[in-house]
Chain A
């Protein structure tokens, strides 16, 4: 009994101090831990657990999320913006609200401020200078490089591949180069369903229907019994698997491999400059 009494008292005391602590962290528009090296170190642990999957170890970005060491960020300017984005996610993007991915434990307000402190500690102040010409890149994108046959930027272009309007702001330069040079290495993510663990990927598919017609394209979505395909003419086919003569999926991307003799380094830099300028909007 006495132990119970003591623990109740302790709980009450802890509750009061915790509430005060939370209030101190949540009510502030400014990062209460700004510049605190110890908080930055704690934030590094939190970042590895909660952010690094998409943003990479060291916050330098990955194939799924932007490089956060860039001083200029698309969705956030102040620490308070960043707190909001981490807490609530960014609708229409893969950035989830804190604690909603169903795995891991989410973060407290204090831990979010620690992460922001860590990100600020990793920032490179001078913005990366574009190496190529955005204007020339645009000409290539819609012309000789044939990107726009399958990809769209700002509403203009093809539908078979991922829309690249935002890619320049949400992917690292290295990830974009890799996607061009080795498109099959990491297939792009497509449709994300809210209850599902993994997004659909841009897998290639070849089916032969019951009447012998061959369809080649990419999977828009798929389950064990049906598949939704966009073919190379951008027609959507809704297919029941058990009615197909054959169904072949491939992780060989429908995008051709643009190695250096197909697309030279200079041309690639110009296209990256174009995508980066489009993505900054």
Chain B
């Protein structure tokens, strides 16, 4: 369901956490967009997101979507990074999912997110681990 072209297009955001900062109002957009949702501005500066943050809310997905069976139970959180930007990410390396709590400090590490079966492409990105 993710074509080679689409996965390649997303590398700057998936691999390098590249974001866009609106030159008018300084809002940081991840992923970048054509127009700033805050002020409508259309010029941006390239920036990279910080890799430290904390958990704002989370769940543990126990009935997984296709392609995520081996990673179940799947802890997923909304993380607020230290610059205020919020992203949705999986939380990795939990000895027990019950360790996950609102406010937990995390940092982002490069990990495999999913793959298109055994023969298809592997999709990489970042996950949050305890910081």
Q: Do A and B come from one complex?
A: no
Q: Please report B residues at the A interface, Cβ cutoff 8 Å.
A: none
Q: Please report A residues at the B interface, Cβ cutoff 8 Å.
A: none
